[in-house]
Amino acid sequence: MTLVFVYGTLKRGGANHAFLAGQSFLGNGCTAPGFRLYGLAGYPGMIRVPDDRDGVSGEVWSVGDDCLARLDELEGLAEGLYRREPIRLLPPFADQAVETYFYARSVAGRPDLGSTWLI
């Protein structure tokens, strides 16, 4: 099992939440400061922003290997759209190994959404 932090359309109520069917919701989480969301084509992308003070809010899920492979495909890892990497979250997940999807392309000209993607 892999712990995954989701912050956009994969969250409960989001357009792509069905990709997490059968997986375990562990709770709401927040990244440490240093990350922001940017608006893309109907979904957000998270990038590192060193001077950010808020972090990003989302959900933590425990997912199996098959689900993780489907998420990697959805997020376009092979095309270089996103990359999956470890991320540090605040308590109660601060001491756990958690991965997330970072947007891997430029956000120039994209709207800054701040810390929360509203479903």
pLDDT digits (tens, 9 = 90+) for 75-92: 999 999 999 999 999 999
Q: Can you give the residue ranges of every domain in the chain?
A: 2-114
| Predicted pLDDT of residue 16 | 97
- Which token pair is 15? 């357009």
Omega into 86 within 30° of 0, i.e. cis?
no
Could you say which of 59, 73, 75, 79 is catalytic? 75
pLDDT confidence of 1, banded at 50, 70, 90? Answer: very high
Q: Rounded to 5 degrees, what angle do the CA atoms 66, 72, 78 make?
A: 130
Residues facing residue 44 across a β-bridge: 39
**Interval 58-67 mean pLDDT:** 98
Tell me the pLDDT of the chain averaged across its residues: 97
| Predicted pLDDT of residue 41 | 87
DSSP string across 14-47: STTGGGGTTSEEEEEEEBPSSEEEEE-SSSEEEE
- Cα–Cα distances (Å) from 103 to 22, 32, 33, 77, in that order, read 26, 17, 17, 10
Interior/surface letters 100-114, b for 16+ CB within 10 angstroms, e for the rest? bbbbbeebeebeebe
| Predicted pLDDT of residue 93 | 97
For the domain spanning 2-114, the CATH number is 3.10.490.10
Q: Is 75 a catalytic residue?
A: yes
